[in-house]
Structure 1
Amino acid sequence: MRKYLFKLSILVLFLFGKVNHSNAQKKSFLVPDAAIIQYAGSIGYFSVGAGYEIFKNKRGNIDFNYGYVPASKGGKLHALTTKFSYKPFEIKLNDWGTLYPLNPGVFLSYTFHDDLSFKFHSSEYPSGYYYWSPALRPHVSLSNEIELNMGKIWKEMGIEKIGIYTEFNSNDYYITNYFQNIKALSLADVFQLGVGVRFKF
């Protein structure tokens, strides 16, 4: 599995690098600003994606991820996720990097599986018996990221910046269950952790 993930990571970097270098003048808004690789974090055992910077200050991000959970980890599951996050604070680390300590965000993930659907089947449950969707999950998140300026560290690499981040998240189902079972559940049962790398070209 690790070997497969490594090869997939190299492929993603190669493809996004080729696209971005070929549009060096001024790329189309459809061309991503970053390639993303993430481990865990409610969007797959591992996931890959494309990121776009928004707002003039470039502190807002919209990401699109594809995630996979292998059979050995509870799958096979495929998931598509759309994320939004904002970086309200920054701490300059000399000229080689920047730290973004608290980045709030929201995201939607949809999991594809034969046993999951957008709604519970009306033939099995009365209408409105379950309010949530089995496949679609809204999340809230809080992340931090250290962004390395590769032009100062390793210019020959051909990557403008590398962001390494951790992200805590929870969804509507977990939060509701927590407040209904505070004595039985801890915050560790409610929040999930993901770790990722963002390659900016």
Structure 2
Amino acid sequence: MFLIGSGIKANAQKLKFLIPDEAIVQYAGSIGYFSVGAGYEIFGNKRGNLAFHYGYVPENKGGELNIATVKLSYKPWVVKLKEWGTLYPFNPGFFASYTFHKDLSLFFPSGQYPNDYYYWSEAIRPHLSFSTELELKPPKALTNVGVRALGLYIETNTNDFYLINYLQNMKTLTIDDIFQLGLGLRVKF
């Protein structure tokens, strides 16, 4: 019995990396009207982030959409704000989103258009993003239940389609036409 118990404990320790380091909620920002996610700190210095989101757009906000997103970002600069917080002023990132919808497919149907007429996917969008995050020390009530920090962030992003259209139509589009904005909260464990 001891061997079985120690074997289970050893396997649980090996799978510990699957437990997220943070829970995330985000409003807007190209990944849904509202999204929820889980994130992982991926570098030893805790400046890299890998996050997985599920986003939803309701029917009355532009058509019902379900969106899955994978985000990768890095925090190159850190500004300590006394003992109560930390500011990460400029965090570049990349993310890819997939929109689940009956009218959007991974590839355009063959035979409908000449080969290479459309060079992008209808459902997948790669994005470049930039964010600013304010990480706050949580109240004692939250630290007692395992919350290490709260992160409030604002993120702007653009995707391949918007960027190409901007470069081809610079006389008509402005740079703010191609960027989207999102606001979010990270609960860090």
Instruction: Using structure 2 for the length normalisation, give the TM-score.
Output: 0.89
Give CA-to-partner distance per residue, 1:134-193, whole Å, 9 cap, x none: 00000000000000011xxx1112321000000010010000000100011011210000
Give CA-to-partner distance per residue, 1:94-133, whole Å, 9 cap, x none: 0010000000000000000000000111232112101010
Q: Given the superposition, is the C-alpha separation of residues 166 and 136 from structure 1 closer, same or farther in structure 2, using an over 3 Å criterion? A: same
Residue 11 of structure 1 is matched in structure 2 by none
Tell me how large the CA RMSD over aligned residues is. Answer: 1.3
Aligned equivalent of 1:61, options 25, 49, 52: 49
Q: Does residue 155 of structure 1 match 2:140?
A: yes
* Corresponding letter in the other structure for 1:200: K
Q: CA deviation at 1:82?
A: 0.2
State the identity %: 62
* Corresponding letter in the other structure for 2:140: K
Q: Does residue 91 of structure 1 match 2:79?
A: yes
C-alpha distance in structure 1 between counterparts of 2:82 and 2:19, whole Å:
30
Runs of 4+ in 1 over 6 A off after TM superposition: none
Q: CA deviation at 1:27?
A: 7.5
C-alpha distance in structure 2 between counterparts of 1:87 and 1:115, whole Å:
37
Q: Does residue 30 of structure 1 match 2:30?
A: no
C-alpha distance in structure 2 between counterparts of 1:78 and 1:117, whole Å:
13
Structure 2: gaps of 5 or more residues: 1-12
Greater alpha carbon shift after TM alignment, 173-182 vs 118-127: 118-127
Higher Cα radius of gyration: 2
Alignment of 1:1-201 (within 5 A): 28-150=16-138, 154-157=139-142, 158=145, 159-201=147-189
Structure 1: gaps of 5 or more residues: 1-24
C-alpha distance in structure 1 between counterparts of 2:148 and 2:31, whole Å:
26
